[in-house]
Structure 1
Amino acid sequence: MSSVSAASIESVANEGQQQKKPLKPCCACPETKKVRDACIIEKGEESCTNLIEAHKECMRALGFKI
């Protein structure tokens, strides 16, 4: 019979969460990044300012300083 307490299980769960690697800017907001990049390639940066700003807003919402 195991004598594992709820506190020790909670401690192990918290350690797993703390070991998560932080989100990298290159991996954040893939949806807005994909459409932004496609637009820039097809139409040029000047024609995609709304998509560029949408991607920046997404990044800021995740805590990145853009």
Structure 2
Amino acid sequence: MGNSSSTPSLPPSSSSSSSPAVVVVEKEKEKGQQKVGIKSGKRICCCCPETKRARDACVLNNGEDDENCKRLIELHKECLRGEGFDVK
């Protein structure tokens, strides 16, 4: 019969605390693990989807040593460099 609603109490927030997700991202950035493209702001896995798709399909079907695949690999690297990544 108690009509009291209980809501969980949150600890008092301070200006120095951040949400756990923000803290993780900030720590990854400090370690240099999460690099984003200078131009697009995307992570390397999300940049250049067209060249990535063509490269992956070629390597899957023909192998990495195929001449056409080598060309597609280089095109993908050039695209990533254009986004601001340091790709060897």
TM-score class, shorter-chain normalisation, is 0.5 to 0.7
Count of paired positions: 45
Structure 1 or 2: larger helix share? 1
Q: Structure 2 unaligned runs (5+)? A: 1-40
Give the structure-2-normalised TM-score.
0.50
Unaligned 5+ residue runs, structure 1? 1-21
Q: Secondary structure at the match of 2:85?
A: coil
User: Following the alignment from structure 2 to structure 1, what is the Cα–Cα distance between the partners of residues 74 and 65?
Assistant: 12
Amino acid at match of 2:77: K
TM-score by length of 1: 0.67
- Give me the CA root mean square deviation: 0.5
**Identical-residue share of aligned pairs (%):** 53
Rg comparison, structure with higher value: 2
Residue in structure 1 matching 2:70, options 33, 38, 49: 49
